Structure 1
Amino acid sequence: MNDTIKDVSERLGIPASTIRYYEKKGLLPNIRRTKGGMRQFDEETIEWLKLIECLKKTGLSLAQIREFMDMSTQGDATIPQRLALFQRQREAIREEIRQLEEILHLVDYKCWYYETAQNEGTLQLLAQRSDEDFPQEYQEVRRWLRGSDGEHSS
């Protein structure tokens, strides 16, 4: 199967200009062209595009992705380096998820807080409650917000 840049752009949701940029930067070195100069994308190139987009979402720069692509073309000798790259990215993603879970917990607390205030018709009643009067899952975040707890580790 050989798709045009327009087909691939629509199929993957990647602007054609971005695909051309990737090619210019050497991230897609094996794109074939018709006699008229039009790019032809095979399934392998489409897989590379999907991988590039995924790697960008993990926080890798285009320069780092280019290094990975270069390692990939070198064959089995670079397997340890490629594995190390993905292991580092996995740990970075896990840390980001941990931070996002903390943020989500805070947002959940604030949703509960304002839903409760709305139901009670005032914020004043909530402000007068002690930490122990709040749901168990929100007591720590409330203490953290109020400065009663040295660190937020929810």
Structure 2
Amino acid sequence: MTITEVSEQFALSADTLRYYERIGLIPPVTRNKSGVRDYGEEDIKWVEFIKCMRSAGMPIETLIEYVNMFRQGEVTKQARKELLIGERKALIKRIQEMQETLARLDKKIAAYDEKVCIK
């Protein structure tokens, strides 16, 4: 796939994809004879993983650490798992905070509804 196709598929700009490659979040993408990036299946899996983790709020620095450990192989398996467990805990906390915020918004909206219905 070309960078344009990957960009459209994942709703990421081509600049973002180049940035992810430059900082090592995705491996260097092979290029065709013309020098154009040609994303393969493994590249696509990395882009999908990175986008998912970023959507979950994982910092780029943490992702770089994870990817570097992944590239070191099996010896980092436990460390990678622990990193992901830590991020999972942080995500659960953010979800709880968002649920509390949602409840507060619902309460505030209901208060406005009550005032509007009274008049």
TM-score by length of 2: 0.92
The alignment-based identity, stated in percent, is: 34
Which one has a bigger Cα radius of gyration?
1
1:27 equivalent in structure 2: 25
Cα deviations by residue, 1:59-116 (Å, 9 ceiling, x for unpaired)? 3322221111111112211111111111111111111111111111111111111111
Tell which has more relative contact order, 1 or 2 (C-alpha 8 A, sep 6+): 2
Unaligned 5+ segments in structure 1 are 122-154
1:82 equivalent in structure 2: 80
Give aligned pairs, total. 119
TM-score by length of 1: 0.73
RMSD (CA atoms): 1.2
Unaligned 5+ segments in structure 2 are none
1:66 equivalent in structure 2: 64
1:18 equivalent in structure 2: 16
* SS across alignment from 1:32: coil
Aligned AA for 1:112? A
Per-residue deviation at 1:37? 0.8
Cα deviations by residue, 1:114-146 (Å, 9 ceiling, x for unpaired)? 11111111xxxxxxxxxxxxxxxxxxxxxxxxx
More helix by share: 2
- 1-side partners of 2:26 and 2:95: how far apart? 30
1:52 equivalent in structure 2: 50
